[in-house]
Homo-oligomer: A and B are copies of this chain.
Amino acid sequence: MDLHGAFHVYDTTLRDGAQQEGLNLSVADKLSIARQIDGLGVGYIEGGWPGANPKDTEFFRRAVDELDLRHARLAAFGATRRAGLVAADDPQVAALRDSGAGVVTLVAKSHDRHVELALRTTLEENLAMVRDTIAHLRAEGQQVFLDAEHFFDGYRANRDYALEVLRTAFEAGAEVAALCDTNGGMLPPWVADVVHDVVESTGGRVGIHCHNDTGCAVANSLAAIDAGATHVQGTVNGYGERTGNADLVTVVANLELKRERPVLPAGLLSEATRIAHAVAEVTNIAPAARQPYVGTSAFAHKAGLHASAIKVDPDLYQHMDPLGVGNDMRLLVSDMAGRATIELKGRELGFDLSGDSPEAKQLLTRITDRVKALESRGYTFEAADASFELLLAEEVEGERPAYVEVESWRVITETQSGPGLEALSEATVKLRAQGVRYVVTGEGNGPVNALDQALRSAIGQAYPEVAKLELVDYKVRILDQGHGTDAITRVLIETSDGAGTWVTVGVGHNVIEASWEALLDALTFGLRRHHR
A243 on the interface (CB 8 Å rule)?
A: yes
Interface stretch of the complex, out of A125-133, A349-357, A412-420, A460-468 = A412-420
A500 on the interface (CB 8 Å rule)?
A: no
> CA–CA, A335 to B216, complex, Å?
27
B residues less than 8 Å from A480 (CB atoms): 26
Residues 270-298 of chain A, each 1 if its beta carbon lies under 8 Å from chain B, else 0: 00000000000000101011111101011
A160 on the interface (CB 8 Å rule)?
A: no
What is the oligomeric copy number? 2
* Candidates B113, B254, B301; contact of A215 at CB < 8 Å: B254
Residues 450-490 of chain A, each 1 if its beta carbon lies under 8 Å from chain B, else 0: 00100000000000000000111111111111101111010
> CA–CA, A436 to B298, complex, Å?
57
A21 on the interface (CB 8 Å rule)?
A: yes
Contacting pair B413 A301 (CB below 8 A)? no
B residues less than 8 Å from A187 (CB atoms): 219, 222, 254, 258-259
Contacting pair A290 B212 (CB below 8 A)? yes
> CA–CA, A284 to B301, complex, Å?
21
> CA–CA, A213 to B409, complex, Å?
47
A445 on the interface (CB 8 Å rule)?
A: yes
B residues less than 8 Å from A512 (CB atoms): 413, 423, 425, 446-447
Give the size range of A's interface with the partner.
Answer: 35 or more
| Smallest CB separation, A212 vs chain B (Å) | 6
Contacting pair B318 A183 (CB below 8 A)? yes
Residues 383-422 of chain A, each 1 if its beta carbon lies under 8 Å from chain B, else 0: 1000000000000000000000000111111110100001
A426-443: which residues lie under 8 A (CB-CB) from chain B?
Answer: none
Q: A410-B413, A485-B446 are in contact. Are A423 and B513 (CB under 8 A)?
A: yes
A139 on the interface (CB 8 Å rule)?
A: no
A46 on the interface (CB 8 Å rule)?
A: no
| Smallest CB separation, A185 vs chain B (Å) | 3
* Candidates B243, B297, B332, B486; contact of A295 at CB < 8 Å: B243
* Candidates B302, B317, B422, B509; contact of A422 at CB < 8 Å: B509
* Candidates B216, B238, B408, B473; contact of A417 at CB < 8 Å: B408
B residues less than 8 Å from A510 (CB atoms): 413, 422-425, 445-447
A29 on the interface (CB 8 Å rule)?
A: yes
> CA–CA, A254 to B288, complex, Å?
23
Residues 308-351 of chain A, each 1 if its beta carbon lies under 8 Å from chain B, else 0: 01001100111110000000000010010000000000000000
Q: A212-B290, A284-B482 are in contact. Are A477 and B26 (CB under 8 A)?
A: no
B residues less than 8 Å from A253 (CB atoms): 214
Q: A288-B288, A510-B413 are in contact. Are A113 and B445 (CB under 8 A)?
A: no
Q: A214-B254, A414-B409, A446-B510 are in contact. Are A335 and B184 (CB under 8 A)?
A: no
| Smallest CB separation, A451 vs chain B (Å) | 8
> CA–CA, A531 to B198, complex, Å?
59
A449 on the interface (CB 8 Å rule)?
A: yes
Contacting pair A117 B309 (CB below 8 A)? yes
> CA–CA, A332 to B242, complex, Å?
10
B residues less than 8 Å from A452 (CB atoms): 484-485
Contacting pair A447 B445 (CB below 8 A)? no
A183-223: which residues lie under 8 A (CB-CB) from chain B?
Answer: 183-185, 187-189, 212-220, 222-223
B residues less than 8 Å from A470 (CB atoms): 484
Contacting pair B446 A335 (CB below 8 A)? no
Q: A188-B188, A415-B408, A510-B422 are in contact. Are A473 and B481 (CB under 8 A)?
A: yes
Contacting pair A26 B475 (CB below 8 A)? no
A20 on the interface (CB 8 Å rule)?
A: yes
Q: A449-B486, A484-B452 are in contact. Are A292 and B472 (CB under 8 A)?
A: no
B residues less than 8 Å from A222 (CB atoms): 187-188, 216
A2 on the interface (CB 8 Å rule)?
A: no
Q: Ordered nearest first, which 9 A-B pairs have the shortest CB separation?
A: A185-B319, A471-B484, A219-B219, A410-B414, A215-B218, A476-B476, A445-B509, A215-B250, A449-B485
> What are 15 pairs between A and B in contact, CB < 8 Å?
A22-B380, A111-B316, A118-B306, A183-B317, A183-B318, A188-B219, A188-B222, A214-B292, A216-B216, A243-B292, A410-B413, A410-B414, A447-B511, A470-B484, A473-B481
Excluding A213-B319, A474-B478, 11 further A-B contacts by CB distance (< 8 Å) are A19-B302, A183-B318, A187-B254, A188-B222, A218-B219, A284-B477, A411-B447, A413-B512, A445-B510, A471-B484, A485-B493
